[in-house]
Chains A and B, each alone.
Chain A
Amino acid sequence: MEKIPVFFDCDTGTDDAAAILIAGKMSEIEIVGLGAVCGNVGLEHTYPNTCRVAKLAGIDAPVYKGAEEPMFRPLVTAEEIHAKDGLGGKAGELSDIPVPEAPKTRAWDAIYNEAVKHNGELVVVAVGPLTDLGIALAKYKELPKLIKKVYIMGGSASFGNITPAAEFNIYVDPEAAKMLFESGIPIYMCGLDVTEKAYLTPEEMDEIGKIGTRATEFIADVCHSSLEFYLTRGYKGKFMHDSCPVLAVAHPEIFSGKMAGVAVETKGKITLGRTVSDYYTDRKFDFENAFVVTDVDREKFVELSLEYLKK
């Protein structure tokens, strides 16, 4: 079977790290490039983090530097969850892995180049703010026709997390998100509706740690570091947001949702960054631009995550 060419854009990030490690072992896909964008923390952390975690995952594809700030706004970060270094204070554990000098090509150009090269077959998985895609769309007007699908972790058909109305990735760069949602590129949206159901319990993290490779011990450590944030809020484990869109590329059957219209609020006083969807509403938009995922078979999600991490 031919592998699906995937460009992976991320703001590594604790759950990004887990998603990269999984992606690196998925025989169904081929990572053709990674972009590091600002988001959970600044680019000065997400770039080296992404390089090192990709190496740990056995991914040889280049890591490109993405945007250092959102398209039109100052950066908002999520250090409360990911710590100052983006990896739960555990980035130091990977300091022996060399970080290459960044290629001159930036992430938005790399996305375009790969899209051209793969002749309409390229899939983009974007698990951070959508700035790199936004800039790519701004620069290359033919891009929408060249990308097969964008799988995102972002938004929500119901509530937010960074504010009551908005999910973090969309809130950080709502204009970029609006550009993507209005671009005509098919979108597969893993929002909080599904990603908050895709959690790992402390026991499951231990199980990952016990696999015994450097990668699995590292990711178990990283996940444990932000566990308290979730447990004190009454959740059963850490939300593995970013693993959802990655796994969905090869295993859509474990996810469920439907086509819906999604608009992005870029002005609201209290709703800035909200993905307004008609998924649940009587009144519909006159467009359907995204497959909105709202549920996952969590058992299979955990099973698959472990299966890949064991490889």
Chain B
Amino acid sequence: MKRIPVILDGDPGHDDAIAWVLANASPMLDIKAVTSCCGNQTMEKTTYNALRICTLIGLNVPVAKGRVKPFLKPPMVAPNVHGQSGLDGPKLPEPAFDVVPEDAVTLMARIIEESDEPITLVPTGPLTNIAALFMAHPELKKKISHIYLMGGGIHHGNWAPAAEFNIQVDPEAAAYVFAAGVPITMAGLDVTEKAQIYPEEFEIIRGLGSKVATTVAEWFDFFFQYHKSLNGYKGAAVHDAVAIVAMTNPEIFEVKDMYVEVETDSECCNGATIGDVHGVLGKEPNVHVLWNLDRDAFAKILIDAVRTYGEVSE
């Protein structure tokens, strides 16, 4: 089977970590590199977490550090969701290797340039690195086959009533990426808030027994604490993992194509992803918006992915 070459860009973060566990487990994906961005925590912390996750799951690819802050806004972090480390909960192995000397944008550009086939980008944090890549290397946009991103929400936000966290952290970057002309599949809150893993499923994962499985279960234990403090959650919404599954298992999603633009200049809507649901602007759709998913199928895919670590880590 021909594998899809991908670059994972994220701000781990519990759900980034679980997304990468899934990506690394998929025989469909060929992970070329991992890059960190600031978001859930500071750049230092998310980079350290990225290295620890790669060490835990045996993902031996170049890891590069991204831009230390959003384009125009000061960094904004989410310790109430992910803890002070950005990845609180289970004890993780210390990094078995260090970041490469290149920064994230340079590494991404080199990989894309040297690749014979187009690369897929999977950003699960703010879009700072991706926007910088497109600005600095516009000629490489045509070698990006697709962006599967976690971010935004057509119906509503989460960090602000109008905006989702990843987009709100760096709205200018997001606006640039959405307008870049590269095919985008958006795993926004419309679908990711439905991608909940339930406590009984944490136990199934824990029962798999491998080091990765028990760690994932404990990430869920921690992550679920935040969701329990909100109304209406039966489980932990593992947002970022949806971006991976959208790529590997498109059949479990309902998708709407529409024109989406990001608000960057407003009183209370900065970072809102405005989707032209009714087509009033008459513009060509630029985003495949994930609208709904088969939750049970999603949970099964996630559990089966963790199961693949059973043999390697015992």
The answer to whether A4 has its CB under 8 Å from any CB of chain B is: no
The answer to whether A308 has its CB under 8 Å from any CB of chain B is: no
- Contact between A281 and B267 (Cβ–Cβ < 8 Å)? no
Min C-beta distance of A259 to chain B, whole Å: 13
- Contact between A269 and B266 (Cβ–Cβ < 8 Å)? yes
B interface residues, tally (CB under 8 Å): 28
Q: What separation, in Å, do the CA atoms of A263 and B155 have in the docked complex?
A: 16
When A158-B155, A281-B158 are in contact, do A164 and B281 touch as well, CB less than 8 Å?
A: yes
- Contact between A269 and B161 (Cβ–Cβ < 8 Å)? no
- Contact between B265 and A267 (Cβ–Cβ < 8 Å)? yes
B277: which A residues are within 8 A, CB to CB?
159, 164
- Contact between A283 and B158 (Cβ–Cβ < 8 Å)? yes
- Contact between B162 and A164 (Cβ–Cβ < 8 Å)? no
From A267, which residue of chain B is reached at the shortest CB distance? B267
A158-180 interface mask toward B, CB cutoff 8 Å, 1 = contact, 0 = none?
11111111000000000000000
When A266-B267, A269-B266 are in contact, do A165 and B158 touch as well, CB less than 8 Å?
A: no
A263: which B residues are within 8 A, CB to CB?
161, 267-268
- Contact between B267 and A283 (Cβ–Cβ < 8 Å)? no
The answer to whether B312 has its CB under 8 Å from any CB of chain A is: no
Partner of A277 from B159, B161, B263 at Cβ < 8 Å:
B161
B125: which A residues are within 8 A, CB to CB?
none
Partner of A268 from B155, B230, B269 at Cβ < 8 Å:
B269
Min C-beta distance of B271 to chain A, whole Å: 10
Q: What's the dominant secondary structure at chain A's contact region? A: loop
Q: What separation, in Å, do the CA atoms of A280 and B161 have in the docked complex?
A: 8
The answer to whether A282 has its CB under 8 Å from any CB of chain B is: yes
From B260, which residue of chain A is reached at the shortest CB distance? A164
Q: What separation, in Å, do the CA atoms of A281 and B162 have in the docked complex?
A: 8
Q: What's the dominant secondary structure at chain B's contact region? A: loop
B277-300 interface mask toward A, CB cutoff 8 Å, 1 = contact, 0 = none?
111110000000000000000000
Q: What separation, in Å, do the CA atoms of A274 and B278 have in the docked complex?
A: 15
- Contact between B274 and A271 (Cβ–Cβ < 8 Å)? yes
Min C-beta distance of B285 to chain A, whole Å: 12
Partner of A161 from B156, B230, B268, B280 at Cβ < 8 Å:
B280
A276: which B residues are within 8 A, CB to CB?
161-162, 268-269
B48: which A residues are within 8 A, CB to CB?
none
Q: What separation, in Å, do the CA atoms of A162 and B267 have in the docked complex?
A: 20
Q: What separation, in Å, do the CA atoms of A257 and B29 have in the docked complex?
A: 44
- Contact between A158 and B161 (Cβ–Cβ < 8 Å)? no
Min C-beta distance of B168 to chain A, whole Å: 10
- Contact between B280 and A163 (Cβ–Cβ < 8 Å)? yes
B259: which A residues are within 8 A, CB to CB?
164
- Contact between B272 and A165 (Cβ–Cβ < 8 Å)? yes
Question: Which residues of B from 58 to 102 have beta carbons under 8 Å from A?
Answer: none
- Contact between A159 and B263 (Cβ–Cβ < 8 Å)? no
A274-311 interface mask toward B, CB cutoff 8 Å, 1 = contact, 0 = none?
10111111111100000000000000000000000000
Question: Which residues of A from 139 to 164 have beta carbons under 8 Å from B?
Answer: 157-164
Chain B residues within 8 Å of A, Cβ to Cβ: 154-162, 230, 259, 261, 263-269, 272, 274-281
Q: A274-B272, A277-B156, A281-B156 are known contacts; what are 9 more A-B pairs with Cβ within 8 Å? A: A164-B259, A164-B276, A233-B279, A263-B268, A266-B267, A269-B266, A270-B261, A277-B161, A283-B157
Q: List 9 A-B contacts (CB under 8 A).
A: A159-B155, A164-B261, A164-B274, A265-B266, A271-B263, A271-B266, A274-B272, A281-B156, A282-B158
Q: Which 3 A-B pairs have the closest CB atoms?
A: A268-B266, A271-B269, A164-B276
